[in-house]
Amino acid sequence: MSFFQKLKSKFKQENQEEVSTKYKKGMEKTRKSFSGRINDLIARYRKVDEDFFEELEEVLITADVGVNTVMDLIDELRFEVQRRNIKDTMEVKEVISEKLVEIYYGDDNEEIEALNIQSSGLSVVLVVGVNGVGKTTSIGKLAHQLKAEGKTVMLAAGDTFRAGAIEQLEIWGERAGVEVIKQNEGSDPAAVIFDAIKAAKSRNVDVLLCDTAGRLQNKVNLMNELAKVKRVIEREIPGAPHEVLLVLDATTGQNALNQAKTFSEATDVTGIVLTKLDGTAKGGIVLAIRNEMNIPVKFVGLGEKAEDLQKFDANAFVYGLFADMLEEQAES
């Protein structure tokens, strides 16, 4: 069975049609340019030679995959091509997607990375990231989903800096029908989170989602503030925060790697939320982060609606990237 067929049958098997349709639709723009360009490349080159690799390199870089990761990938491809004695570019296509999936999966097999929610007691999720990536919106969507799953949810308005941030979270709280713990604008975020934990404990809440102000990762003082917030959570509940989610904008380029590194240093990021993937951005940076940092992607934002925040699924993601190719293969 070819690799594509395997991937496709996997979807059928697990009855994931619905999920993959969402990915397919959300990543339409991404896919068109990405797989379109790989197809175009393969059509133009009959033979696998240096020029072919150079152009492939370009296609991948345009997807924001990142120079280092691309270099690794191309090296591996070269090796594979030699080993399997591949001369025809059509065959390379399969190897390319194979390698891409390999990077996505990393070392943790093929499991979907679920949110680490305790079966009993309070789970605290801290959400961090630079300005304007969609932290508050992602929290709103997450709250909506967790509530739909039957969990009791509470939100902590830890962004006390940006104008209107608290109100924004309150509106999301109203929409999802969950309580929001807040203080005045300009108050100490650690204090807000402290209050929220007390409130969540006394009201037997399952999940507390903590919003924080956006901050650029090179602002040392602001990063220290974030570390303090985390310390407060750790002190109040042993083992918490159960998740630290770094929200990344899919349009971000190589700086996302710096973000992942610095935020991890300050708060031990456990997962990534990749937002705004429904534009033309390819989110290739996910590959780079996976390759260099080994932080799993847990959610992807594929649209504006609450249910458009999807659990990340590498299979579905790659299916989204290569949907055109898959269908072509199935027909032939």
Q: Which is nearer to another protein, 152 or 255 (CB)?
A: 255
Residue by residue, DSSP assigns 79-119 as HHHHHTT--BHHHHHHHHHHHHHHHHHTTSTT--------S
49 labelled ligand-binding: no
Out of 281, 286, 316, 323, the residue judged to bind another protein by CB under 8 A = 281
218 labelled ligand-binding: no
Interaction of residue 310 with another protein, rule CB under 8 A? no
> What does the block give as tokens for 220?
């040392």
Number of residues that bind another protein (CB under 8 A): 51
69 labelled ligand-binding: no
Strands (E), 205-249: 207-210, 243-249
- Grouping H, G, I as helix, E, B as strand and the rest as coil, residue 313 is coil
Check if the beta carbon of residue 7 is closer than 8 Å to that of residue 315: yes
Length of the chain: 332
Out of 8, 144, 230, 276, the residue judged to bind another protein by CB under 8 A = 276
CB of 10 to another protein, least distance (A): 29
CB of 1 to another protein, least distance (A): 34
Pairing of strands 297-301, 309-311: antiparallel
Residue found by looking up tokens 């509530």 in the block: 147
Closest CA to 119 of 151, 156, 155: 151
Residue 182 neighbours by CB distance under 10 Å: 23
By CB under 8 A, the residues from 16 to 75 that bind another protein are 29, 58, 61-64, 66-67
Residue 68 neighbours by CB distance under 10 Å: 13
By CB under 8 A, the residues from 129 to 188 that bind another protein are 130-134, 137, 140, 161-168, 170-172, 185
Q: Which value, in Å, is the radius of gyration of the alpha carbons in the chain?
A: 21
124 labelled ligand-binding: no
CB of 20 to another protein, least distance (A): 21
277 labelled ligand-binding: yes
Out of 112, 114, 220, 330, the residue judged to bind another protein by CB under 8 A = 220
CB of 242 to another protein, least distance (A): 26
Binding site for another protein (CB under 8 A): 29, 58, 61-64, 66-67, 130-134, 137, 140, 161-168, 170-172, 185, 216-221, 249, 251-258, 261, 276, 278-282, 285, 292
> Which residue ranges are tagged as binding site for GTP?
129-136, 211-215, 275-278
